[in-house]
Structure 1
Amino acid sequence: MASDLVFYTNPQSRGRIVRWMLEEIGAPYETQVMEYASTMKGDAYRAINPMGKVPAIVHHGRVVTECAAICAYLADAFPEARLAPPIADRADYYRWLFFAAGPVEQAVTNKALHAEATPEQSRMLGYGSYDLAVDVLEQAVSRHDYIAGDRFSAADVYVGSQVGWGLQFGTLPKRDAFTAYVGRLMARDAYARANEKDDALANEAA
Protein backbone atom coordinates (compact mmCIF):
# COMPACT_ATOMS: atom_id res chain seq x y z
CA MET A 1 0.00 0.00 0.00
CA ALA A 2 1.40 3.39 -1.01
CA SER A 3 2.28 5.78 1.79
CA ASP A 4 0.07 8.84 2.29
CA LEU A 5 3.20 10.94 2.85
CA VAL A 6 6.36 10.45 0.81
CA PHE A 7 9.54 12.44 1.42
CA TYR A 8 12.11 12.83 -1.38
CA THR A 9 15.51 13.86 -0.12
CA ASN A 10 19.25 13.42 0.04
CA PRO A 11 20.98 13.52 3.44
CA GLN A 12 23.48 16.06 2.10
CA SER A 13 20.89 18.65 1.16
CA ARG A 14 18.25 21.05 2.43
CA GLY A 15 16.17 17.94 2.85
CA ARG A 16 17.47 17.95 6.42
CA ILE A 17 15.14 20.86 7.12
CA VAL A 18 12.11 18.85 6.02
CA ARG A 19 13.31 15.73 7.84
CA TRP A 20 13.34 17.75 11.06
CA MET A 21 9.85 19.08 10.32
CA LEU A 22 8.56 15.57 9.65
CA GLU A 23 9.96 14.36 12.94
CA GLU A 24 8.27 17.27 14.69
CA ILE A 25 4.82 16.42 13.32
CA GLY A 26 5.23 12.78 14.32
CA ALA A 27 3.20 11.31 11.42
CA PRO A 28 4.42 8.21 9.55
CA TYR A 29 6.17 8.90 6.27
CA GLU A 30 8.15 7.09 3.59
CA THR A 31 11.63 8.28 2.65
CA GLN A 32 12.90 8.12 -0.92
CA VAL A 33 16.61 8.95 -1.14
CA MET A 34 17.52 10.61 -4.41
CA GLU A 35 21.01 10.67 -5.90
CA TYR A 36 22.28 13.91 -7.39
CA ALA A 37 23.72 12.50 -10.61
CA SER A 38 21.00 9.96 -11.38
CA THR A 39 17.54 9.63 -9.85
CA MET A 40 17.26 13.31 -8.90
CA LYS A 41 17.60 14.27 -12.57
CA GLY A 42 15.56 11.36 -13.96
CA ASP A 43 12.19 11.68 -15.63
CA ALA A 44 10.32 10.02 -12.77
CA TYR A 45 11.46 12.57 -10.22
CA ARG A 46 11.22 15.51 -12.62
CA ALA A 47 7.53 14.65 -12.94
CA ILE A 48 7.36 15.50 -9.22
CA ASN A 49 9.76 18.44 -9.20
CA PRO A 50 10.74 19.72 -12.66
CA MET A 51 13.63 21.58 -11.03
CA GLY A 52 15.30 18.25 -10.29
CA LYS A 53 15.99 19.41 -6.73
CA VAL A 54 15.24 18.01 -3.30
CA PRO A 55 13.43 18.09 -0.99
CA ALA A 56 9.88 17.46 -2.06
CA ILE A 57 6.93 15.78 -0.43
CA VAL A 58 3.86 14.09 -1.88
CA HIS A 59 0.94 14.07 0.53
CA HIS A 60 -2.26 12.35 -0.58
CA GLY A 61 -1.05 12.76 -4.16
CA ARG A 62 -0.31 16.48 -3.85
CA VAL A 63 3.22 17.74 -4.43
CA VAL A 64 4.85 20.41 -2.28
CA THR A 65 8.38 21.71 -2.91
CA GLU A 66 10.50 24.50 -1.36
CA CYS A 67 11.50 24.05 2.27
CA ALA A 68 9.61 26.99 3.75
CA ALA A 69 6.45 26.00 1.86
CA ILE A 70 6.77 22.39 3.01
CA CYS A 71 7.18 23.45 6.64
CA ALA A 72 4.12 25.72 6.47
CA TYR A 73 2.09 23.06 4.65
CA LEU A 74 2.91 20.29 7.11
CA ALA A 75 2.06 22.52 10.07
CA ASP A 76 -1.39 23.08 8.59
CA ALA A 77 -1.88 19.50 7.37
CA PHE A 78 -1.12 18.07 10.82
CA PRO A 79 -2.68 20.59 13.25
CA GLU A 80 -2.50 18.13 16.14
CA ALA A 81 1.27 18.77 16.26
CA ARG A 82 0.52 22.42 17.11
CA LEU A 83 3.35 23.78 14.99
CA ALA A 84 1.47 26.78 13.63
CA PRO A 85 0.05 29.55 15.82
CA PRO A 86 -3.67 30.35 15.67
CA ILE A 87 -4.55 32.37 12.56
CA ALA A 88 -4.87 35.59 14.55
CA ASP A 89 -1.32 35.16 15.88
CA ARG A 90 0.48 34.31 12.64
CA ALA A 91 1.90 37.72 11.72
CA ASP A 92 5.41 37.05 13.07
CA TYR A 93 5.19 33.38 12.04
CA TYR A 94 4.72 34.21 8.35
CA ARG A 95 6.90 37.31 8.48
CA TRP A 96 10.07 35.65 9.72
CA LEU A 97 9.54 32.32 7.95
CA PHE A 98 9.51 34.06 4.59
CA PHE A 99 12.09 36.66 5.56
CA ALA A 100 14.53 33.79 6.09
CA ALA A 101 13.45 32.08 2.86
CA GLY A 102 13.74 35.28 0.82
CA PRO A 103 16.00 38.14 1.91
CA VAL A 104 18.28 36.10 4.19
CA GLU A 105 18.71 33.28 1.67
CA GLN A 106 19.50 35.74 -1.10
CA ALA A 107 21.88 37.82 1.00
CA VAL A 108 23.83 34.80 2.22
CA THR A 109 24.03 33.24 -1.25
CA ASN A 110 25.24 36.43 -2.91
CA LYS A 111 27.79 36.94 -0.15
CA ALA A 112 29.11 33.39 -0.65
CA LEU A 113 29.34 34.00 -4.40
CA HIS A 114 31.20 37.30 -3.78
CA ALA A 115 28.47 39.11 -5.71
CA GLU A 116 28.85 42.71 -4.56
CA ALA A 117 26.17 45.22 -5.55
CA THR A 118 26.84 48.88 -6.09
CA PRO A 119 24.83 51.33 -3.96
CA GLU A 120 22.58 51.93 -6.97
CA GLN A 121 22.10 48.20 -7.59
CA SER A 122 21.31 47.55 -3.93
CA ARG A 123 17.97 49.29 -4.41
CA MET A 124 17.01 46.38 -6.65
CA LEU A 125 17.79 43.80 -3.97
CA GLY A 126 15.00 42.64 -1.69
CA TYR A 127 17.47 42.37 1.17
CA GLY A 128 19.19 45.72 0.63
CA SER A 129 22.57 44.54 1.89
CA TYR A 130 24.01 41.50 3.62
CA ASP A 131 24.77 43.46 6.81
CA LEU A 132 21.23 44.82 7.00
CA ALA A 133 19.66 41.37 6.51
CA VAL A 134 21.90 39.87 9.20
CA ASP A 135 21.18 42.66 11.67
CA VAL A 136 17.41 42.31 11.19
CA LEU A 137 17.67 38.53 11.58
CA GLU A 138 19.57 39.02 14.83
CA GLN A 139 16.88 41.35 16.10
CA ALA A 140 14.20 38.81 15.19
CA VAL A 141 15.76 35.90 17.08
CA SER A 142 16.45 38.13 20.09
CA ARG A 143 12.87 39.19 20.78
CA HIS A 144 11.59 35.90 22.20
CA ASP A 145 12.76 32.37 22.85
CA TYR A 146 11.32 31.40 19.47
CA ILE A 147 10.96 33.30 16.21
CA ALA A 148 7.18 33.81 16.45
CA GLY A 149 6.91 34.21 20.22
CA ASP A 150 7.28 32.05 23.29
CA ARG A 151 6.23 28.81 21.61
CA PHE A 152 8.18 26.68 19.10
CA SER A 153 6.65 26.59 15.61
CA ALA A 154 7.32 25.40 12.08
CA ALA A 155 8.95 28.76 11.40
CA ASP A 156 11.69 27.83 13.86
CA VAL A 157 12.45 24.69 11.86
CA TYR A 158 13.24 26.77 8.80
CA VAL A 159 14.77 29.84 10.41
CA GLY A 160 16.72 27.72 12.90
CA SER A 161 18.13 25.55 10.12
CA GLN A 162 19.28 28.60 8.20
CA VAL A 163 20.92 30.12 11.25
CA GLY A 164 22.49 26.82 12.30
CA TRP A 165 24.03 26.22 8.90
CA GLY A 166 25.16 29.83 8.73
CA LEU A 167 27.09 29.42 11.97
CA GLN A 168 28.45 26.02 10.97
CA PHE A 169 29.72 27.08 7.55
CA GLY A 170 30.63 30.67 8.37
CA THR A 171 28.05 32.35 6.16
CA LEU A 172 26.59 34.11 9.21
CA PRO A 173 28.64 35.85 11.89
CA LYS A 174 28.92 34.13 15.26
CA ARG A 175 26.74 36.39 17.36
CA ASP A 176 25.49 35.52 20.83
CA ALA A 177 21.85 35.82 19.81
CA PHE A 178 22.29 33.34 16.97
CA THR A 179 24.17 30.86 19.13
CA ALA A 180 21.59 31.00 21.93
CA TYR A 181 18.68 30.60 19.51
CA VAL A 182 20.18 27.59 17.75
CA GLY A 183 21.14 26.05 21.09
CA ARG A 184 17.50 26.04 22.18
CA LEU A 185 16.43 24.34 18.98
CA MET A 186 19.17 21.71 18.93
CA ALA A 187 17.98 20.49 22.34
CA ARG A 188 14.70 19.26 20.81
CA ASP A 189 14.17 15.50 20.56
CA ALA A 190 12.83 15.74 17.01
CA TYR A 191 15.95 17.61 15.91
CA ALA A 192 18.14 14.85 17.34
CA ARG A 193 16.05 12.10 15.69
CA ALA A 194 16.17 13.83 12.32
CA ASN A 195 19.93 14.26 12.42
CA GLU A 196 20.43 10.67 13.51
CA LYS A 197 18.42 9.39 10.54
CA ASP A 198 20.13 11.64 7.99
CA ASP A 199 23.59 10.98 9.40
CA ALA A 200 22.96 7.24 9.10
CA LEU A 201 21.91 7.65 5.46
CA ALA A 202 24.97 9.80 4.75
CA ASN A 203 27.25 7.19 6.28
CA GLU A 204 25.67 4.45 4.18
CA ALA A 205 26.39 6.43 1.03
CA ALA A 206 29.99 7.23 1.99
Structure 2
Amino acid sequence: MTFFAHESSYIDENVTIGDGTKVWHFSHIQKGAQIGEKCSLGQNVNISNNVKIGNGVKIQNNVAVYEGVVLEDYVFCGPSMVFTNDLTPRSKYPKGIQGYKKTLVKYGASIGANATIVCGNTIGRWAMIASGAVVTKEVPDFALMAGVPARQIGWVCECGDVLKNELQCNECGREYALINGELTEKSKS
Protein backbone atom coordinates (compact mmCIF):
# COMPACT_ATOMS: atom_id res chain seq x y z
CA MET A 1 0.00 0.00 0.00
CA THR A 2 1.14 3.55 -0.65
CA PHE A 3 -0.24 7.06 -0.23
CA PHE A 4 -2.23 9.13 -2.73
CA ALA A 5 -1.32 12.72 -3.65
CA HIS A 6 -3.41 14.70 -6.11
CA GLU A 7 -1.36 15.97 -9.06
CA SER A 8 -1.94 19.60 -7.98
CA SER A 9 -0.40 19.03 -4.54
CA TYR A 10 3.28 19.67 -3.84
CA ILE A 11 5.41 17.45 -1.63
CA ASP A 12 8.92 18.59 -0.71
CA GLU A 13 11.89 16.26 -0.36
CA ASN A 14 12.60 14.54 2.98
CA VAL A 15 8.92 13.97 3.82
CA THR A 16 7.44 10.79 5.30
CA ILE A 17 3.85 9.90 4.40
CA GLY A 18 2.25 6.69 5.68
CA ASP A 19 0.34 4.05 3.77
CA GLY A 20 -3.24 4.84 2.84
CA THR A 21 -2.91 8.60 3.42
CA LYS A 22 -4.62 10.91 0.92
CA VAL A 23 -3.36 14.40 0.07
CA TRP A 24 -5.92 16.37 -1.91
CA HIS A 25 -5.93 19.37 -4.29
CA PHE A 26 -3.49 22.28 -3.92
CA SER A 27 -1.93 21.01 -0.67
CA HIS A 28 1.72 21.48 0.27
CA ILE A 29 3.74 19.16 2.52
CA GLN A 30 7.00 20.84 3.53
CA LYS A 31 10.46 19.44 4.24
CA GLY A 32 10.84 17.16 7.25
CA ALA A 33 7.10 16.64 7.80
CA GLN A 34 6.03 13.22 9.11
CA ILE A 35 2.48 12.10 8.37
CA GLY A 36 1.11 8.78 9.60
CA GLU A 37 -1.01 6.13 7.94
CA LYS A 38 -4.61 6.50 6.76
CA CYS A 39 -4.73 10.28 7.13
CA SER A 40 -6.82 12.60 4.97
CA LEU A 41 -5.55 16.08 4.10
CA GLY A 42 -8.23 18.12 2.35
CA GLN A 43 -7.94 20.80 -0.30
CA ASN A 44 -5.48 23.65 0.31
CA VAL A 45 -3.84 22.15 3.40
CA ASN A 46 -0.32 23.27 4.31
CA ILE A 47 1.87 21.11 6.53
CA SER A 48 4.92 23.12 7.57
CA ASN A 49 8.50 21.97 8.07
CA ASN A 50 9.09 19.23 10.64
CA VAL A 51 5.43 18.87 11.69
CA LYS A 52 4.49 15.48 13.16
CA ILE A 53 1.07 14.01 12.43
CA GLY A 54 -0.11 10.64 13.75
CA ASN A 55 -2.24 7.92 12.17
CA GLY A 56 -5.88 8.35 11.15
CA VAL A 57 -5.78 12.17 11.33
CA LYS A 58 -8.34 14.14 9.28
CA ILE A 59 -7.46 17.69 8.30
CA GLN A 60 -10.24 19.46 6.41
CA ASN A 61 -9.91 22.14 3.73
CA ASN A 62 -7.92 25.37 4.24
CA VAL A 63 -5.91 24.39 7.33
CA ALA A 64 -2.26 25.26 7.93
CA VAL A 65 -0.41 23.13 10.48
CA TYR A 66 2.59 25.25 11.44
CA GLU A 67 5.98 24.17 12.72
CA GLY A 68 5.79 23.41 16.44
CA VAL A 69 2.39 21.68 16.21
CA VAL A 70 2.07 17.95 16.92
CA LEU A 71 -1.13 16.05 16.13
CA GLU A 72 -1.45 12.64 17.77
CA ASP A 73 -3.48 9.76 16.30
CA TYR A 74 -7.11 10.29 15.23
CA VAL A 75 -7.16 14.07 15.62
CA PHE A 76 -9.81 15.92 13.60
CA CYS A 77 -9.16 19.47 12.33
CA GLY A 78 -12.30 21.13 10.94
CA PRO A 79 -12.42 23.38 7.86
CA SER A 80 -10.46 26.63 8.07
CA MET A 81 -9.43 26.15 11.72
CA VAL A 82 -6.21 27.95 12.67
CA PHE A 83 -3.04 27.02 14.54
CA THR A 84 -0.53 29.66 15.61
CA ASN A 85 3.10 29.20 16.65
CA ASP A 86 4.27 32.67 17.78
CA LEU A 87 2.66 34.64 20.62
CA THR A 88 4.24 37.98 19.65
CA PRO A 89 4.90 37.96 15.89
CA ARG A 90 6.68 40.83 14.17
CA SER A 91 7.43 40.81 10.49
CA LYS A 92 10.55 42.92 11.06
CA TYR A 93 11.83 40.69 13.90
CA PRO A 94 11.28 37.04 12.97
CA LYS A 95 12.17 34.59 15.73
CA GLY A 96 12.55 31.40 13.71
CA ILE A 97 11.99 27.91 15.06
CA GLN A 98 13.66 28.65 18.42
CA GLY A 99 10.92 31.24 19.12
CA TYR A 100 7.96 29.00 18.27
CA LYS A 101 5.71 27.82 21.08
CA LYS A 102 4.76 24.16 20.94
CA THR A 103 1.16 22.99 20.58
CA LEU A 104 0.13 19.40 21.26
CA VAL A 105 -3.24 18.00 20.21
CA LYS A 106 -3.68 14.65 21.92
CA TYR A 107 -5.23 11.39 20.77
CA GLY A 108 -8.76 11.62 19.37
CA ALA A 109 -9.32 15.36 19.98
CA SER A 110 -11.56 17.29 17.57
CA ILE A 111 -11.29 20.96 16.60
CA GLY A 112 -14.31 22.56 14.93
CA ALA A 113 -14.46 24.74 11.84
CA ASN A 114 -12.94 28.22 12.15
CA ALA A 115 -11.62 27.59 15.68
CA THR A 116 -8.28 29.14 16.62
CA ILE A 117 -5.69 27.37 18.78
CA VAL A 118 -3.26 29.84 20.35
CA CYS A 119 0.19 28.26 20.56
CA GLY A 120 1.81 26.95 23.71
CA ASN A 121 -1.21 24.91 24.81
CA THR A 122 -2.16 21.25 24.94
CA ILE A 123 -5.56 19.95 23.91
CA GLY A 124 -6.37 16.81 25.88
CA ARG A 125 -7.41 13.37 24.68
CA TRP A 126 -10.91 13.20 23.16
CA ALA A 127 -11.50 16.92 23.84
CA MET A 128 -13.98 18.75 21.59
CA ILE A 129 -13.36 22.35 20.55
CA ALA A 130 -16.52 24.05 19.22
CA SER A 131 -16.59 25.82 15.87
CA GLY A 132 -15.31 29.38 16.13
CA ALA A 133 -13.82 28.93 19.63
CA VAL A 134 -10.50 30.55 20.52
CA VAL A 135 -8.40 28.31 22.77
CA THR A 136 -6.02 30.35 24.95
CA LYS A 137 -5.25 27.80 27.71
CA GLU A 138 -4.76 24.10 28.39
CA VAL A 139 -7.75 21.87 27.58
CA PRO A 140 -8.45 18.82 29.79
CA ASP A 141 -9.16 15.34 28.42
CA PHE A 142 -12.82 14.97 27.30
CA ALA A 143 -13.52 18.70 27.78
CA LEU A 144 -16.11 20.49 25.63
CA MET A 145 -14.80 24.01 24.95
CA ALA A 146 -16.69 26.91 23.34
CA GLY A 147 -16.58 30.70 23.07
CA VAL A 148 -14.09 33.53 22.74
CA PRO A 149 -11.96 32.97 24.68
CA ALA A 150 -12.91 29.31 24.94
CA ARG A 151 -14.19 28.07 28.27
CA GLN A 152 -15.26 24.62 29.31
CA ILE A 153 -19.01 24.15 29.00
CA GLY A 154 -19.19 20.41 29.61
CA TRP A 155 -17.75 16.99 28.90
CA VAL A 156 -17.88 14.71 25.85
CA CYS A 157 -17.68 10.96 25.48
CA GLU A 158 -14.96 9.26 23.47
CA CYS A 159 -17.62 8.74 20.77
CA GLY A 160 -18.30 12.51 20.67
CA ASP A 161 -21.69 12.62 22.39
CA VAL A 162 -22.14 15.42 24.97
CA LEU A 163 -22.37 13.92 28.46
CA LYS A 164 -25.21 14.91 30.78
CA ASN A 165 -25.03 15.22 34.58
CA GLU A 166 -24.90 11.45 35.18
CA LEU A 167 -21.73 11.22 33.02
CA GLN A 168 -23.06 8.25 31.08
CA CYS A 169 -23.14 8.37 27.30
CA ASN A 170 -26.62 8.06 25.80
CA GLU A 171 -25.09 7.10 22.45
CA CYS A 172 -22.61 4.29 23.24
CA GLY A 173 -23.20 3.56 26.95
CA ARG A 174 -19.70 4.42 28.24
CA GLU A 175 -19.68 5.60 31.87
CA TYR A 176 -17.32 8.19 33.33
CA ALA A 177 -16.37 9.49 36.76
CA LEU A 178 -15.11 12.91 37.76
CA ILE A 179 -12.14 12.42 40.10
CA ASN A 180 -10.19 15.44 41.34
CA GLY A 181 -11.53 17.51 38.45
CA GLU A 182 -10.48 15.00 35.79
CA LEU A 183 -12.88 12.89 33.78
CA THR A 184 -11.96 9.21 33.50
CA GLU A 185 -13.81 6.29 31.97
CA LYS A 186 -15.10 3.78 34.49
CA SER A 187 -13.69 0.31 34.01
CA LYS A 188 -16.08 -2.27 32.64
CA SER A 189 -16.86 -5.18 34.94
TM-score by length of 1: 0.25
Higher helix share: 1
Higher strand share: 2
Higher RCO by CA contacts (8 Å cutoff, separation 6 or greater): 1
